[in-house]
Structure 1
Amino acid sequence: MSLFNIGVRALQTNQVVLQTTGHNIANVNTPGYSRQTVALQNLPGQFTGSGFIGQGVEVQAIVRNQSDMLTRQATAAAAVSAADSARAQSLQRLQDVFSGGDSGLGAAINDMMNALADVASAPTDLTARTVVLTRMDETAARMRSASDQLDQIAAGVRSDLDTGVKAVNDLASQIARLNEQIVRAQGSGKAPNDLLDQRDQAIRNLNQYVQTTQVPADDGSLGVFVGNQPLVLGNTAATLSVDNAPDFSGSGQLKLFFTPPGGTPQAIDEQVIGGGSLAGQLKFYNGDLEEGSNLLGRMALSLTQTLNAQNRLGLTLDSKTGGDLFQPIALKDAIAGAGNPSGAGIGLAVADPAKLKASAYTVTFTAAAVGTVVRQSDGVALSFDGTTGNTLQDILRGEGLTTTVTGTPQAGDRFLIQPLREAAGKMQALVHTPSQLAAANPVNAAMGTGNTGSLQLASLQALSNPPGASVPFTLTFTGPNTYTRSDDPAVPPALPTTYSYVSGQAITYDSATPPTGWSLTLSGTPKQGDTVTVGDALAAGDYFQRDAGNAKAMLALRDAPMFDGAPLSDGFASAMAQVGTRTQSAQFAAQMSGTIAANLESDRTAISGVNLDEEAAKLIQYQQAYQASAKMIQVAQTVFDSLLQTMG
């Protein structure tokens, strides 16, 4: 009977081994499946007078082949890769908005500025004026179109975030259910391998959306945490959601929120989320997309402010003071932080377009006039203490902004300044009549008829319109390097005040009250007695219609430093470079993290994956063992039959 029992045990054991091998082969393509092997052990021998006689084999356990360390590493690396990939894909869409070529925004801006050259050459040519106004309208339209594209990208990312958190919540519920099943199954004392595989795969899928850490419990369940928040504990799952940031209502920033069962939503710091597509998309939405909006907004504001200001310094064909070429863009007031102790507010306007930074700002008060301004684009902190030259207004004036504080701020007050975010979508051309383009200067300059030197007019630019008390105005040269001014007459017996003259250096008349003046640049060498008179252009008949001084000044803006020192004509190229650099960096990071994730996943599957060739070889081996076990039973049966016949 012992031989018969050994054969039966061997047959049953090899059947289990064959069944497990078949299970491996059947799940070769099942995501997350870990190869299983059967651990065998021999039964204790039975003691006889001749020694211990073996009693065969039995199944000790069905082992799940996997490495906890490699599984955790591969899961974490996949989360980082998913974040980098999601951000890189979104940045590629942003880069498409900042594309070059004839249809790009940069071409429209350059065409608009270059068209002013024809007006400067022929100020009475209505066709040339019409081309300029058409180019301005086209530039404004492309600016609005680019802003709309950014809005569409934002809407797409927001939709992806909503889809992602729904998937996270479904996976969290699935993990909680698997935890419950695993706890029940482990009551038998054996590991439920297939349930453990399903849970690990669900965690890997979860980390594609948001990076998690896992903490095993004594009962076999697994706690899953996002940052320091428990997403899954035992058989209970919390939920995630995406909503507007609570700190500054209306800022357009998004946050990931954690809601425990029966609790209230709590914002999760973006920095602790780590990896996952949600982290990458939030980083893009709150950072990269914000920068793109600021770059566009700065161009729109600078073009609007600069060209409007210059056109107001000129005269139209019908002798009127020039008006705004584009609809003035009003800046949105600073957003007060939630729970600010005071009711203070901060109003904003553009002080100097050339100083604008493509950034938002956070203002924090530690006292009524003391605090810090943080430039969000680079993290630079600028402190103010309320002393002369170091007030909040002084700090923001250095950033190109005029600030009006209403009420009295208190310690703890916080404000978010987003001066550029929506500016591009508001750019609108106003002037559509060619005669309203103010190409002429309101002032003119005439050389004295008796001049004997080589003095020539290089440029004349109005600083105000109308010129007011700044004209008529005469410069009388007392030598090659000195002159006197008609607004500074000598009072006998005093001598006239003498000023220095340098060829090519601007001579400026600027009266603060009222703000009137002009800037005159001369070249050549004067002789004693030479004069230059600056007068009112309208006093010279219809001369102003043929003058193109203001058109030349507008054309000169093309090369004026505007965007972080770059000329206005290169502003879009600079924005393209910034977005392109971000995109390339993100793509490199995605490639790098993707390679690391793939290598770690390969290491994990080297242990856990199913090799069909290896399983086929084992199948033959275990089949032969099964057949041998059956033969053993047959032999035992024959021996037993012979014994019965002999005894009979």
Structure 2
Amino acid sequence: MSLLNVGARALLANQAALQTAGHNIANVSTPGYSRQTVVLQTVQGQFTGGGYIGKGVDVQTIQRNHSELLTRQSTAASAVDAGDTVRMDRLRQLQEVFSGGTSGIGASINDMMNALSDVVSAPTDLTARSVALTRMDETAARMRDASQRLDEIGYTVAEQLKGSMLTVNSLAKNIAGVNEQIARAKGNGQPANDLLDQRDQLIRELNQHIQTSQVAADDGSVSVFVAGSQPLVLGSKAAELSIGDPADFGAGSGQKVLYFQQPGSATKVELNESMLGGGQVAGLLRFQNNDLAEGRNLLGRMVIAISESMNTQNTLGLTLDGKPGQNLFAPISLGNVVRSSFNTTPDTTTMALAVTNPAALQASSYTISFATADTGSITRQSDGKVFSFDNSTPSPPNTTTMAAVFSAQGLSVVPTAPPNAPVAGDQFMINPLQGAAAKLKALQYSPVDLAAANGINASMDTANAGRLQLVALKAVGDPGSFDPPAFASPPAPAGGVTLTFAAGPPMTYNATGMTKSGVSVAQAGDYVPGQAITFPQGWSVTLQGAPASGDKVTLGNPRAPQAGDWYQRDAGNASALMGLRDVPMFDGSTLSDGFASAMAQIGTRTQSAQFAAELSSAIATNLERDRTAVSGVNLDEEAARLIQYQQAYQASAKMIQIAQNIFDTLIQGLGR
């Protein structure tokens, strides 16, 4: 009987080994499956006078080939890889909006500015004027199109985040359900290998969306935590995650945050974005709140700078019919001012925004925090730089008032007056550039309405004996500073200013006369050939050559009868418009190079994200390879084991057959 028992045990053990090998082969392509191995143990032998006689073999357990360390490392690395990859993909879409080429925004800006050169060469050419205005309209259209594409990218990101939330919550519930099954199965005394594989695979899939950490419990279940310490899965219970607006500044901030909600609780906890780690949700939130916001700010700053500078310059000139120039583009109202929901002041407490210097604008949003009613800090969101302000002493001489701080940023930010002024603890978020590109629209379509002529004229006195020559003339202030008539002599009537020169040395000038409404002008100084003489009333004149004493130059209204049709043939203001392309506008870059600067900033972000994605992908691939080296199924190895177990099974069956023959022989012998 002992020999029969040994054979039976061996037969059953090898049958289990064959079945386990077959199970491995069947699941060779199953995601997350870990190779299983039969662990055999010797049955305690029976003592006899001749020693211990073996009693065969038993199956101790079915072992799951699994490394907890490698699995966790691989899962974490794949989460980082997923976050870096999805951010890189979105940045590539953003980079396409800021692409170069003839169809890009940069080309349209350069075409617009270059078209003004034909107006400068032929100010009466209606075709040249029409082309210039058409180029402006094309630039506005491309800006609006770029803004729409950014909105589309933002919409797809929002939808992808919603989809990820549905997946995350579903996976969390599934993990909780498997936890419950594993806890029940542990009472049998043997590990539920397939359930453990299923749970690990669910956790891997969950980490594709949001990085987690896991802590094993004594009952076999695993608790899953997000953002460091929030229990997404605790035993057989699962919490929920959702995407929403920040609690402080809400939808007006343009940002999104991740919320955590315990099962059975109505309270949502806002999770810190910096604590999320990897996963697609973290990558998409970084793109939404940082990369896309910067893209919108860069585009908005470009639009504001172009419209403000060109509108201002065009209103300083005269149209072809002698009228003051109007805005070339529709005035753009700056973005919103968002009150914190925790402010104690009334809803009427807010800020008024305006542009003071387009060249100083920063591609950023700002957060204002009031420590007291007069002091606080301003945080520039683009780089995190903090500016302290103190309004207790008026400016000047105080250069740290809120007005002074924002003035250096090219903005005017004026809080509401008492009794609705901000108080201690109030916070405001300012998004001055958000959505500006969608509002850019050309206003002038008639070639006559392009203000190509200067709003000021200069007349060289016919009695001049020196070598004075007019090099440049520009109105930089009120274009209506002079009332006609002008240029009458002598004496100069109200509305004309005469510069009288002395040969020197040193060479000097003395300016006297009257502006509009009889305002007197009295200014004197040294004359340097080629150096502009600037008047605070809003004019700038540049002369070349040495004067003779008594030489005169008269500034006046170009629409005066004495000037004739000069304003139709003049292109001084068109030249000033064209000159804006070389004015530093964007962090030192000129208007013509501003788009190249923006393109470089987005390109740098994209390249950095690509490097990060490639690195994290390589790390994740290596760790997954190490994990599968332990847990993966090798078909060649399983085939060899099948042969081994088959032969052992056949030998076990032969042993039983022999034992049966011996037993039959014994019975037959006893029967005689």
Q: TM-score range by the shorter chain?
A: over 0.9
Q: d(CA) in 2 for partners of 1:449 and 1:488?
A: 19
Confirm whether residue 404 of structure 1 aligns to residue 430 of structure 2. no
1:130 alignment partner in structure 2: 130
1:563 alignment partner in structure 2: 586
> Is the contact made by 2:498 and 2:553 (CA closer than 8 Å) also made in structure 1?
yes
How much does 1:530 deviate? 2.3
Matches within 5 A, 1:46-61: 46-61=46-61
> Is the contact made by 2:499 and 2:511 (CA closer than 8 Å) also made in structure 1?
yes
Q: d(CA) in 1 for partners of 2:530 and 2:198?
A: 80
Q: d(CA) in 2 for partners of 1:500 and 1:484?
A: 6
- The secondary structure found in structure 1 opposite 2:296 is helix
* AA matched with 2:240: T
Confirm whether residue 485 of structure 1 aligns to residue 510 of structure 2. yes
Q: d(CA) in 1 for partners of 2:141 and 2:524?
A: 53
Q: Deviations over 1:214-263 (max 9, x none)?
A: 11111111101111211111111111111222211222211111111121
Confirm whether residue 441 of structure 1 aligns to residue 458 of structure 2. no
2:431 alignment partner in structure 1: 418
How much does 1:125 deviate? 1.1
> Is the contact made by 2:374 and 2:390 (CA closer than 8 Å) also made in structure 1?
yes
2:472 alignment partner in structure 1: 459
1:493 alignment partner in structure 2: none
Q: CA RMSD in A?
A: 1.5
Q: Deviations over 1:541-595 (max 9, x none)?
A: 2211111111110010011111111110111111111111111111111011000
Which has the larger displacement, 79-88 or 452-461? 452-461
> Is the contact made by 2:470 and 2:543 (CA closer than 8 Å) also made in structure 1?
yes
Confirm whether residue 180 of structure 1 aligns to residue 194 of structure 2. no
How much does 1:211 deviate? 0.3
1:19 alignment partner in structure 2: 19
How much does 1:455 deviate? 2.2
* Runs (5+) with no aligned partner, structure 2: 484-493, 515-521
2:518 alignment partner in structure 1: none
1:492 alignment partner in structure 2: none
Q: d(CA) in 2 for partners of 1:204 and 1:504?
A: 72
Q: Deviations over 1:506-535 (max 9, x none)?
A: 11111xxxxx32011122222322222212
Q: d(CA) in 2 for partners of 1:310 and 1:180?
A: 73
Q: d(CA) in 1 for partners of 2:554 and 2:3?
A: 129
- The secondary structure found in structure 2 opposite 1:499 is strand
1:499 alignment partner in structure 2: 525
How much does 1:498 deviate? 5.3
* AA matched with 1:455: L
2:195 alignment partner in structure 1: 195
* AA matched with 1:646: G
1:254 alignment partner in structure 2: 256
* AA matched with 1:405: P
How much does 1:117 deviate? 0.7
> Is the contact made by 1:123 and 1:548 (CA closer than 8 Å) also made in structure 2?
yes
1:532 alignment partner in structure 2: 553
Q: d(CA) in 2 for partners of 1:416 and 1:101?
A: 36
* AA matched with 1:396: F
Q: d(CA) in 2 for partners of 1:421 and 1:317?
A: 36
Confirm whether residue 115 of structure 1 aligns to residue 115 of structure 2. yes
Q: d(CA) in 2 for partners of 1:600 and 1:544?
A: 75
Confirm whether residue 292 of structure 1 aligns to residue 295 of structure 2. yes
How much does 1:64 deviate? 0.5
Confirm whether residue 307 of structure 1 aligns to residue 289 of structure 2. no
> Is the contact made by 2:27 and 2:33 (CA closer than 8 Å) also made in structure 1?
yes
C-alpha spacing 1:137/1:458, structure 2 compared with 1 (3 Å): same
How much does 1:471 deviate? 4.8
Matches within 5 A, 1:348-363: 348-363=353-368
Matches within 5 A, 1:614-629: 614-629=637-652
- The secondary structure found in structure 2 opposite 1:537 is coil
How much does 1:53 deviate? 1.0
Q: d(CA) in 2 for partners of 1:96 and 1:498?
A: 55
2:168 alignment partner in structure 1: 168
- The secondary structure found in structure 1 opposite 2:317 is coil
1:523 alignment partner in structure 2: 544
2:664 alignment partner in structure 1: 641
* AA matched with 1:211: Q
Q: d(CA) in 1 for partners of 2:259 and 2:523?
A: 72
Which has the larger displacement, 558-567 or 382-391? 382-391
1:42 alignment partner in structure 2: 42
Confirm whether residue 378 of structure 1 aligns to residue 383 of structure 2. yes
- The secondary structure found in structure 1 opposite 2:601 is helix
- The secondary structure found in structure 1 opposite 2:41 is strand
1:601 alignment partner in structure 2: 624
1:83 alignment partner in structure 2: 83
How much does 1:297 deviate? 0.5
2:400 alignment partner in structure 1: 390
Q: d(CA) in 2 for partners of 1:69 and 1:207?
A: 16
Which runs of at least 4 in structure 1 moved beyond 3 Å after TM superposition?
Answer: 468-471
Please report the TM-score for the alignment, with normalisation by the length of structure 2: 0.93
Which has the larger displacement, 256-265 or 38-47? 256-265
* AA matched with 1:59: V
Q: Deviations over 1:77-136 (max 9, x none)?
A: 000000000000000111111111111111111111111111111111111111111111
How much does 1:468 deviate? 3.7
2:234 alignment partner in structure 1: 233
Q: d(CA) in 2 for partners of 1:381 and 1:454?
A: 55
Q: d(CA) in 2 for partners of 1:519 and 1:271?
A: 53
2:350 alignment partner in structure 1: 345
2:517 alignment partner in structure 1: none
Please report the TM-score for the alignment, with normalisation by the length of structure 1: 0.96
- Percent sequence identity is 58
* AA matched with 2:549: Q
Equivalent residue pairs, number: 637
How much does 1:189 deviate? 1.0
Q: d(CA) in 2 for partners of 1:570 and 1:290?
A: 21
Q: d(CA) in 2 for partners of 1:595 and 1:308?
A: 52
Q: d(CA) in 1 for partners of 2:2 and 2:471?
A: 119
Q: d(CA) in 1 for partners of 2:574 and 2:670?
A: 129
> Is the contact made by 2:496 and 2:513 (CA closer than 8 Å) also made in structure 1?
no
* AA matched with 1:543: W
